[in-house]
Amino acid sequence: MIITVGSIVYGRNGQQYLIENAINSGGFGIVFKTKRLNDNTIWAIKTIQSNFEDGEQYNAFINEINTSSKIKCENVIQYEFTHDGKKYPELPPYIIMEYANQGDLRKVIDDYKSKKEFIPNELLISFYNQLINGMKSVNSVLVHRDIKPENILISNSQLKISDFGLSKFASEKTRKITFKGYGTYMYVAPEAWNNDKNTIQLDIYSMGIVFYELATLQYPYHVSNTRNLNEWKNAHMFQIPDVPNKINNNISPVISNVIMKMLEKSTSKRFSNWNDIYNYFKTENLGTSTIGSEYINAMLNNRLQKDDSIKREISKKEIQQKKENEFCNLVKYKFQQDIYEPLISFIGEFNSKYPNGNIKVEQIREDHKYYSDEYLNIYSFRIITPSHNTISICLAPVIERLYLGEEKYRMHMYGEQREFTPQMFKIREGKIMAWGYLETKNKTGFNILLVQKDDDMYGKFFIMENSCNGLVREDRQSPFPFTFDELPQKIETIYALSRYNSDISEFNIEKIFSYISMYI
């Protein structure tokens, strides 16, 4: 039987409830306003869709709902009865709960936005204390995991935390994500994106965003494409919100500091319990002043600005590191697909057919001034033939930070010393994503360049063979590769008249095969 307007459902002791009208709908079902017929009191009934993946999932959900019904607090919606679908088999699962007659906190935020007024400080502190009180009770039993203004209802001017459909017990680690995951993307803590340990700090972070919205009437992060899950993740992982009292200068630095600490990305820096948050708000005596309070407020504001600057600098570095890691993984994939794996296959076939000695491959570490110990993404190996000749193949992603931070290069051109400011390196075929070389035991070989292509995010490999042009006497056997230390300067002059000639052609793996065959 489907529950709809006009249906009769039953409570704990068989009381009849008449469904009057729909209030809201969500991921689990529909919320109806209902009247208990024996006393005409008004309640809410939330129907639960029964399309769970398996019985274990369903039982876990019912268990969580039953546990949450034990929470008794004036700032938490009270659950009157949970129907598990068994007592009244003709009816689907549903929850009978306290009815909130004044909407939700989202409506309050939107109302003040429309009036272009901030929420008065006394009301703001009242909201905060009510929510802290409710969350202390909730988190004593479970982790809510879906805190947002829409799940904070208002009944008789009192805030009520509701909707425990995603809850997990506060003492548990995060097991397999079930139901609809970790709530609304706008409010998901950084650690939840990585399925880290399930703690109260998930809720503290989410409520920190709610506190921020109440204080500023703004959401703390900027996401251009709200349908892009990765953008939401990056916002929570890396974006730093504006300090709340920059937006609303009516609030004190105490409120701003508490909210910013609730929104710390790292759980080690975030509040770990609600008592600490409550104690800070206790110090917020609005409308009163003490000796030195002006100095204290100025000091708090000053510290808040410094903390904000530090966080932004750290976040900037983290974003940069993430982009670099993604770029390096892309280069590594291309290197393995086009060079390393075909070579291993080629060498393996030779070894399977030649019983008197194998071609060996061993990894090597190639250090130079642009790649310190912090940066190990140099893809290098050495081929050793049965005649003990060696061929080294090395490739390194071209990381802008490592090169553009350099001071001006000094170099010799036509017998003169010149300077130039480094720019990202290009050849006619495009911007260089990675570079390296193949080098034999007698220093012959060629450079390998991975070049960005508009139609392929992984780029395309090219070979650069170098030779001396006779303008300057130099004892280098042609063709030869430039070293990592030489490449930044030499790439800049490959199309200019200099001591070297460089010929660039499309990469073909057989070029490497030919070198191995020469030194077998």
Q: Which of 351, 335, 441, 325 has its CA nearest to residue 395?
A: 335
Domains of the chain: 1-99 (3.30.200.20), 104-288 (1.10.510.10), 340-518 (no CATH)
| Residue 429 CB partners (closer than 8 Å, separation 6+) | 451, 460, 462, 504
Q: Which runs of E-coded beta strand occur in 359-444? A: 360-363, 379-384, 390-397, 409-413, 416-420, 426-427, 430-440
H or E stretch including 453? strand 445-453
CA 315, 317, 319, 325 torsion: positive or negative?
negative
DSSP codes, 131-200: HHHHHHHHHTTEE-----GGGEEEETTEEEE---TT-EETTSPP-S--TT-SS-GGG--HHHHTT----H
pLDDT at position 54: 60
| Residue 478 CB partners (closer than 8 Å, separation 6+) | 444, 465, 466, 467, 468
pLDDT digits (tens, 9 = 90+) for 52-79: 556 665 666 676 677 777 889 999 998 8
pLDDT at position 50: 57
How wide is the angle at C-alpha 65 spanned by C-alphas 62 and 69, nearest 5°? Answer: 140
Please report, rounded to a whole number, the percentage of residues in the chain having pLDDT higher than 70. 83
pLDDT at position 167: 57
Confidence of residue 261 (pLDDT cuts 50, 70, 90): very high
- Single-letter code of the amino acid located at 402: L
Confidence of residue 499 (pLDDT cuts 50, 70, 90): confident
Question: Quick one: tokens of 400?
Answer: 């802008």
Lookup result for tokens 């200099």? 498
Question: Quick one: tokens of 42?
Answer: 């008004």
pLDDT of 370 over the 60 cut: no
Q: How far apart are CA 18 and CA 10, in angstroms?
A: 9
Q: How much is the average pLDDT of 202-225?
A: 96
pLDDT at position 469: 80
Q: How much is the average pLDDT of 36-59?
A: 78
How wide is the angle at C-alpha 210 spanned by C-alphas 205 and 212, nearest 5°? Answer: 90
Question: Quick one: tokens of 100?
Answer: 């909130």
Say what the pTM is. Answer: 0.65
pLDDT digits (tens, 9 = 90+) for 218-258: 999 999 988 888 889 889 988 889 999 999 999 988 899 99
pLDDT of 173 over the 60 cut: no
Strand partners, 44: 33, 97
pLDDT at position 410: 44
Lookup result for tokens 């974003």? 319
Q: How far apart are CA 467 and CA 120, in angstroms?
A: 76
Q: How much is the average pLDDT of 411-428?
A: 56
pLDDT of 453 over the 60 cut: yes
CA 265, 270, 272, 278 torsion: positive or negative?
negative
pLDDT at position 175: 39
Confidence of residue 172 (pLDDT cuts 50, 70, 90): very low
Cα–chain-centroid distance for residue 277?
26
| Residue 348 CB partners (closer than 8 Å, separation 6+) | none
Q: CA-CA-CA-CA torsion for 61, 271, 129, 161, nearest 10 degrees?
A: -10
Cβ atoms of 504 and 438 within 8 Å: the answer is no
pLDDT at position 234: 87
| Highest mean pLDDT, choosing among 27-31, 210-214, 414-418, 514-518 | 210-214
Q: How much is the average pLDDT of 453-481?
A: 85
Q: CA-CA-CA-CA torsion for 406, 410, 412, 414, nearest 10 degrees?
A: 100
Q: How much is the average pLDDT of 484-512?
A: 87
Cβ atoms of 163 and 180 within 8 Å: the answer is no
Q: Which of 464, 459, 457, 448 has its CA nearest to residue 502?
A: 464
pLDDT at position 412: 42
Q: How much is the average pLDDT of 370-383?
A: 64
Cα–chain-centroid distance for residue 364?
33
Q: At what angle do helices 253-262 and 121-139 cross, to 10 degrees?
A: 30
Q: What is the mean pLDDT of the chain?
A: 83
- What is the distance in angstroms between the CA of the first residue and the CA of the last residue of the chain? 79
Q: Lowest-pLDDT range, 34-48, 91-105, 422-436?
A: 422-436
Give the strand pairing for 142-143 and 158-161. Answer: unpaired
Confidence of residue 405 (pLDDT cuts 50, 70, 90): low
Burial of 368: CB neighbours in 10 Å, binned 0-12, 13-18, 19+: middle
pLDDT at position 194: 75
Q: How far apart are CA 512 and CA 504, in angstroms?
A: 15
Q: How far apart are CA 424 and CA 399, in angstroms?
A: 9
Q: Which of 54, 41, 51 has its CA nearest to residue 11?
A: 41
Q: How far apart are CA 85 and CA 177, in angstroms?
A: 23
Confidence of residue 373 (pLDDT cuts 50, 70, 90): very low
pLDDT of 473 over the 80 cut: no
